Structure 1
Amino acid sequence: MATNDLNHNLVLLSHLRSILVAVGEAEQIPDDSHALFLERFDEMMLALPVDPIESQYLGQDIMCQVIERYPQIAHLVPRDLLWFFGGACFNFMPDEELDMYQALEERRHEAEANDEPFDWNQEKQFMSMPVSDDTPQH
């Protein structure tokens, strides 16, 4: 697991955690189970840099629970996290999105193999741009 990839996803996890905290503060969910869930979330975030492989499984479970327990924020879960943790998280991604992430991953590996720079976010933006046949040719 590339360190850059890990750091990117840790930032996304921190952002998602702040959303979860806000949901709790808005009293949209039962407080006791929410506090326990946040504890598990924090444990996963701390374990991820130490034991990335073992933490993947916990991460999959937690990402799936975020979507199932908090459907009101499911649309705010960064898609990169679903791809990063994989497994059961793929059930929440349409085929077109999975195809895009697979192509993005292939581009990343190709760039690394050729010692070329690779910017995940820039490439993702480029790949998700709509292709239009109406664009005038200069």
Structure 2
Amino acid sequence: MSNIVADHLVLLDHLRTILVAVGEADQVPEESHALFLERFDELRAQLPVDPIESQYLGQDILCQIISRYPQIAHLIPRDLLWYFGGDCLHYLADEEIDLYQALEERRYEAEQNDEPFDWNQEKQLLAMPDQDIKH
């Protein structure tokens, strides 16, 4: 399993704990919530097995979270929205999309040069205001 998939599984696990908490707080109809969590768990199981095929399910589930549970939409890790892409990209600001595109370019360059690449570290560096970066 790639580091990319492993990182996103951690984010999905985090998001699932938030979804469970929403259900326990009785903020949603219990029956449909349980069915939704089953679909979420399907995504969680499918991602490491077939990352490409799981993209559509991931897009569908994340967009459903935003529409079904608007009270937690802001808690969805932005990396998941980028990773699954498609309709999820509508929920990212233009600045965030620019940041993720720059990250993808840096990752590609690192891979081409057989250099290590730390997504989270690079993301922090890119998110810093330019004047704070000292060389």
Partner of 1:100: 99
Alignment partners' CA distance in 1, 2:130 and 2:47: 37
Partner of 1:89: 88
Partner of 1:64: 63
TM-score (norm 2): 0.94
Alignment partners' CA distance in 2, 1:19 and 1:130: 31
Q: Unaligned stretches of 5+ in structure 2?
A: none
Q: Secondary structure at the match of 1:106?
A: helix
Residue 131 of structure 1: CA displacement?
A: 2.9
Alignment partners' CA distance in 2, 1:97 and 1:53: 23
Cα RMSD between the aligned structures?
1.3
Partner of 1:115: 114
Indicate the larger mover: 46-55 or 57-66: 46-55
In the comparison of the two structures, how many residue pairs are matched?
Answer: 133
Q: Percent identity, aligned pairs only?
A: 71
Q: Secondary structure at the match of 1:53?
A: coil
TM-score (norm 1): 0.92
Q: Secondary structure at the match of 2:130?
A: coil
Alignment partners' CA distance in 1, 2:126 and 2:64: 29
Where in structure 1 do 4 or more consecutive aligned residues deviate above 6 Å?
A: none
Alignment partners' CA distance in 2, 1:37 and 1:129: 37
Residue 130 of structure 1: CA displacement?
A: 2.1
